[in-house]
A and B are shown apart, each in its own frame.
Chain A
Amino acid sequence: MTNRVLPWIVGAVLIALPFVYSAPYPMHLMVVVLIWSFAYTSWSVMGRFGLVSLGHGGFFGVGAYSTALLWNYYHLSPFLGIPIAMVLAVTLAIVVTYPCSRFRITGHYFALVTLALSAIVQQVATASRNITGGSLGYTPERAQGGGHILAFQFTDKLTWYFIALGVWAVGLFVRWRVDHSMIAYALEAIAEDEDAAGAAGVNVTSEKLKITALSAAMTAFAGGMYCQYQMFISPDTVSGINVSLQMVFAAVVGGIYVLPGPTVGAIITILLAEGLRIFFGTGALGWDNLVYGTLLVLFIIFLPQGLVGAAWTRLTGARRTA
């Protein structure tokens, strides 16, 4: 029952919220939380099937940089730039995942190979100083005059809030659809026993590629959107190992097997980072990573289902639903 009604109540509250209360800083936090929630959910689309990728920082970075570069150099609207960025990310995902699947690189080894991917994207963004501005970061040119819609640039936080809310909801819907389709059975089976899955007729490589492509495309979209919202990107905020790890931390802390898990993870980690920043100032820069790391280890040992997953099990005694 609650399962049916709850999403609509939460949705209604979130839509009504800014009409009641819309101070800029909380609004900003909400937008950031929604964008990252979407990104973490995108990661969990494959991560929940034991396909632990540390390459998603790479996909996010490709999304952000491609969108900005296409806009600045070719005046290509993000409405085209983001889809192109998604195609690029999917291509990268296939280039990495296909050989991994063929040579049976799974589990920790898959995580390590994908880790290299996010490191490479960060390196390229940092080293191509003439094009990307290197480690100093990069800013999409502000659109002049009335071109704001095509430029996908809005100064109004409320607009961004509704865009991010919509995208986040679509992200949850996509993951829900995946979780309730036949491919979910196949991926669970692959996670357990690739040969037995093959003997049941599953084309292991193609199913892995499909889910990885979907997850990479969604993550690149998140990167493009982040770029448009922040109007500033730098190699270490949108790509690299840190961003990848942050995705895994948040998703695991919230819970990867339940739909709202990655969202709760985003709320916790972002509030934690903001809290550390406010209380300790810039002196605490990087502390959040230390705290995440410790939390991750504790969660994996004591609460592998994550916060939402554990709460859900407590409440319903259910195993694999939601």
Chain B
Amino acid sequence: MLEVSGLIKRFGGFTAVSNVSFQVGQGEILGLIGPNGSGKSTIFNLLSGTLAPTGGSIRFQGHEIGGLPPYRIINQGIGRTFQIPRPFKRLSLFENVALAGYYGQGQPSRAKAFEAAERALTMVGLPTDRDAGIGGLGAAGLKKLELAKALATQPKLLLADESLGGLDETEMDQAADMLRRIRAELGITIIWVEHIMGVLMRVVDRVMVLDHGEMIAEGLPAEVSADPRVIEVYLGTDADAVQAAAVRV
């Protein structure tokens, strides 16, 4: 459903994403891992239209979407979460999600937008009452809100950026479970970015590894975590995570 080929993004002289190609099939959960600064979020920004690619092509369901503005990409069915939650503080919890339900679905009726918002909030386990604010949400709650905003746009493909960041062990497991349920119950294809391997490796069907903007490995979780290049990349930065992943897989 998504075909990325030769994707390049430069910031001035710095190449953040360098000639990256991959495909995602309908119904898949694809993991995208790599150390901090390896270009994972930048790839999401390119896929979601927040940034325009310097080169390469992004085809979604047969249409080229590289360089389109975010609202057009969302209306074609790609939703995303931000690594650092970006809730709208002036809006209530429900309004945050209803906004995404309305504009993310190409401005249907208000009733339809509210319905989508209610479903999304229920899915992630947040309250659906109209008056709840976002002040009381902790790290896990804000991550859920990010997810609810993305789901309310009724995406076919969900880009989840570091859904585990800042969460404790139990919350991590719950978040991973949530992504599984989103695919199972809503049939949404997912690309899941994380800089640590751990929990992610137990959920994804396939995983890609990014280092300094380049794709260095791709395959089944077990293969990838045994790949010497991947171990090398992670040894310097996150050796424990590799071991943990290898043990768990």
- Interface residues of chain A, those whose CB is within 8 Å of chain B, are 182, 185-186, 188-189, 191-193, 195-204, 320
Contact = CB atoms under 8 A, between A and B. Distances in A.
Contact of A203 (B48, B71, B90, B110): B71
B99 A182 contact: yes
A201 B49 contact: no
Contact of A198 (B69, B107, B110): B69
B88 A203 contact: no
Interface in B104-141: 104-107, 110, 113
A106 to B, nearest CB: 16
B89 A199 contact: no
18 contacts: A185-B88, A185-B95, A185-B98, A186-B103, A188-B90, A188-B91, A189-B88, A196-B88, A197-B99, A198-B69, A198-B70, A198-B71, A199-B50, A200-B99, A201-B102, A201-B105, A202-B103, A320-B90
A195 B99 contact: no
A201 B88 contact: no
Contacts, number: 75
B150 to A, nearest CB: 8
B153 interface: yes
B102 A195 contact: no
A200 B104 contact: yes
Contacts of B107: 182
A52 B167 CA distance: 39
Max chain A CB contacts within 10 Å: which of B70, B91, B95, B106? B70
B91 A185 contact: yes
A200 B90 contact: no
B88 A199 contact: no
B135 to A, nearest CB: 11
Contacts of A192: 88-90
A201 B100 contact: yes
Interface string B15-56: 000000000000000000000000000000000111000000
Given A189-B91, A192-B90, A201 B74 contact: yes
Nearest to B92: A320
Given A182-B113, A202-B99, A195 B104 contact: no
Contacts of B70: 195, 198-199, 201
B156 interface: no
Instruction: Among B69, B74, B90, B105, find the residue whose CB has the most chain A CB atoms closer than 10 A.
Output: B90
A202 B71 CA distance: 6
A198 B50 contact: yes
A185 B130 CA distance: 14
B99 A189 contact: yes
Nearest to A320: B90
Contacts of A199: 48, 50, 70, 74, 80, 82, 86, 149
B86 A201 contact: no
Contacts of B82: 196, 199
B75 interface: yes
Given A188-B91, A189-B91, A196-B88, A182 B102 contact: yes
Nearest to A203: B71
A201 B110 contact: no
A198 B99 contact: no
A198 B52 CA distance: 14
A195 B107 CA distance: 18
Contacts of A203: 69, 71, 103
Given A197-B88, A197-B99, A199-B80, 9 more contacts: A185-B91, A186-B99, A189-B91, A198-B50, A201-B74, A201-B102, A202-B103, A203-B103, A320-B90
B88 A193 contact: yes
Contacts of B149: 199-200
A180 to B, nearest CB: 10
A204 B105 CA distance: 15
A204 B86 CA distance: 16
Those 4 A-B pairs whose CB atoms lie nearest each other, nearest first: A201-B104, A201-B103, A198-B70, A196-B86
B71 A182 contact: no
B114 to A, nearest CB: 10
A203 B110 CA distance: 17
A201 B49 CA distance: 11
Nearest to A192: B88
B88 A188 contact: yes
Nearest to B45: A195
Given A198-B71, A203-B71, A193 B103 contact: no
Contacts of A189: 88, 90-91, 99
Contacts of A195: 50, 70, 86
